[in-house]
Amino acid sequence: MSRTPAVRNTPRAGTYLPGSGPIIVGILNVTPDSFSDGGDFLDPEAAAEHAVAMLDEGAGILDLGGESTRPGSDPISPEEEIRRVAPVLEGILARRPDAVISIDTYRAGTATAALQAGVRLVNDVTALRGDPGMASVVEEAACPVILMHMQGEPKTMQKEPHYDDVVHEVRDFLAQRAEYAAAAGIRPENIIVDPGIGFGKNLEHNLALLRNLDAIVNLGFPVLVGASRKRFIGSITGVQEAKERIFGTVATTVLAYEKGATLFRVHDVRANREALTVAESVLHASRR
């Protein structure tokens, strides 16, 4: 990353793992083609302002991504990915030096540059399979990593995805990837797992995973759910416009929280934050 901000440039080990309550992970896609917000935040100033707004609305982590992984999307070059995220990262940390930011990338080079610039987590939708150098980058940074399940790859993953038993297959995959990460020296307390809603999954697969999320929670790692505005919500509600799928998204957040998930990767921070606050009060009255 050519422009390294003066603010924090040393990732701190294991500094941001979920402890006592649910965490909203606010989505910041600096891409022209993301499925719901593509093109909205290409201007680094607008992106940084949106990031600050999400923090003010209650996001505990911001997830910054420079490449869309929506169904049918094409990969971009590593240089282009870094070019997109670098100024936004700088802009956020200039405004909020303490912001906890994750980088949504499967490339070791992008993760390294972002960690040097102040990012504190890596969100890898390939669960360390996309780049052979990624595990050692995470290990050396001693930072948390999100390991997500995906069947196939974004270009073709929605063409007739198939499972004999989606819940067991996703759970076993995540267990294996967590073992791989641990064998690479990544501390177990830095591992977060994610069933990868919508990544090589049809409507029934997504619903089965959400319905049986406790099977994944039982692996013993914090679980992140990323259902925000996704197509399966539109299939159920009939809401075609992705940005209008807020209410359906909130339902997934509350249900997933009740099943034990603790991180929620969402576009609409306030709606999900308020719903979680109420859910938390109902389920864990003593906490408040």
Catalytic residues: 230, 265
47 lies in the binding site for ligand HH2 (CB under 6 A): no
Find the binding residues for ligand HH2 in span 83-112 (CB under 6 A). Answer: 104
29 lies in the binding site for ligand HH2 (CB under 6 A): yes
125 lies in the binding site for ligand HH2 (CB under 6 A): yes
143 lies in the binding site for ligand HH2 (CB under 6 A): no
What does residue 203 show for φ and ψ, rounded to 5 degrees? -55, -45
Residue type, 274: E
Nearest distance, CB of residue 200 and ligand HH2, angstroms? 12
Taking CB under 6 A as the criterion, the residue among 265, 268, 269, 276 binding ligand HH2 is 265
CA dist list (Å): 69 to 172, 201, 260: 23, 14, 26
Q: Where are the alpha helices (DSSP H) in 44-192?
A: 44-57, 78-95, 108-116, 134-141, 166-183
Find the binding residues for ligand HH2 in span 153-192 (CB under 6 A). Answer: none
Nearest residue to ligand HH2 by CB is 226
3-state SS, 229-244, equals: CCHHHHHHHCCCCHHH
What does residue 169 show for φ and ψ, rounded to 5 degrees? -65, -40
Q: At what angle do helices 78-95 and 44-57 cross, to 10 degrees?
A: 50
Give the per-residue contact string, 48-87, with ligand HH2 (x = CB under 6 A; - = no): -----------------x--xxx-----------------
Chain residues that interact with ligand HH2, rule: CB under 6 A: 27, 29, 31, 34-36, 65, 68-70, 104, 123, 125, 146, 148, 194, 196-197, 224, 226, 265
